[in-house]
A and B are shown apart, each in its own frame.
Chain A
Amino acid sequence: AQSVTQPDIHITVSEGASLELRCNYSYGATPYLFWYVQSPGQGLQLLLKYFSGDTLVQGIKGFEAEFKRSQSSFNLRKPSVHWSDAAEYFCAVNYGQNFVFGPGTRLSVLP
């Protein structure tokens, strides 16, 4: 069965530090890949997506992600974190018509 893992439940970084959130997926073919962000009490907002082509994709709010087929990974990065980035982040895979979401990584940002 398809699955998405996010090994880190909670990450804390200082404002201005770099960030990498990990995501691995299990799927036979190359799926469509996504990162979403959720602020408390809100729905999920799409940060970026990968369908094909260049394996480094740029998203909103200064985020980027790199698809590595050999590692079945799609890690999210940001060079310098802002306090407003504190939220929960979900990696997701689209297979066919449906989606599988990872369990989420909660990001805390220290001033």
Chain B
Amino acid sequence: DVKVTQSSRYLVKRTGEKVFLECVQDMDHENMFWYRQDPGLGLRLIYFSYDVKMKEKGDIPEGYSVSREKKERFSLILESASTNQTSMYLCASSRLEAFFGQGTRLTVV
């Protein structure tokens, strides 16, 4: 059974903290994605990666960075968390269709 695993279901962080969201896939997919999902705004692409050490900005990359040191792992980094980054974060991997993790609900206080 295919699997995309996000390290946390729920996170609460303080403003200004550096936050790491981890995502691991076991399907040997080249492509991996980070989205954030907010009510009324749908899924918005933050960053994606189509190979190890490669990354591309999505629609809303400001305030985020990513790391892909190994094929199976794609990390999203909030350099200095702010309250407007409170959201649901979804990781996905794909070859042709996308498979999603269970999501991380991040609250920045």
Task: Mark interface residues in A32-47 (1 if CB within 8 Å of B CB, else 0).
Answer: 1010100001111110
Mark the stretch among B14-22, B67-75, B78-86, B99-107 that contacts chain A: B99-107
Residue B45 interfacial (CB < 8 Å): yes
- Chain B residues with CB below 8 A from A97, complex form: 31, 48, 50, 94
CA distance A15 to B43 in the complex (A): 28
Interface residues of B in 32-58 (CB under 8 A from A): 33, 42-43, 45, 48, 50
Q: Quick check: A34 and B97 within 8 Å, CB to CB? A: yes
- Contact between chains at A32 and B96 (CB < 8 Å): yes
Does A44 lie within 8 Å of B31, measured CB to CB?
A: no
Give the B interface residue count (CB, 8 A).
20
- Cβ–Cβ contact A42 & B102, under 8 A: yes
Question: How many Å lie between the Cα of A102 and that of B41 in the bound state?
Answer: 10
Total A-B residue contacts, Cβ distance less than 8 Å: 49
Main secondary structure of the interface of A (DSSP, over half): strand
**Are B103 and A41 in contact, with the CB atoms below 8 A?**
yes
Taken together as a complex, chains A and B put the C-alpha atoms of A56 and B103 apart, in Å, by: 31
Identify the interface centre among B43, B45, B101, B102: most chain A CB within 10 Å of its CB.
B43
Are A94's CB and B103's CB within 8 A?
no
Contact in complex: A44, B100 (CB < 8 Å): yes
In the complex the two chains form, what is the Cα distance from A44 to B37 in whole Å? 11
4 nearest interchain CB pairs? A43-B100, A44-B100, A103-B42, A101-B43
Please list the residues of chain A having a beta carbon within 8 angstroms of any beta carbon in chain B. Answer: 32, 34, 36, 41-46, 49, 51, 90, 92, 94, 97-99, 101-104
Beyond known contacts A43-B103, A99-B92, A102-B42: 14 more, CB 8 A cutoff: A34-B98, A41-B105, A43-B4, A44-B90, A44-B92, A44-B100, A46-B97, A90-B43, A92-B98, A94-B94, A97-B48, A97-B94, A99-B45, A101-B43
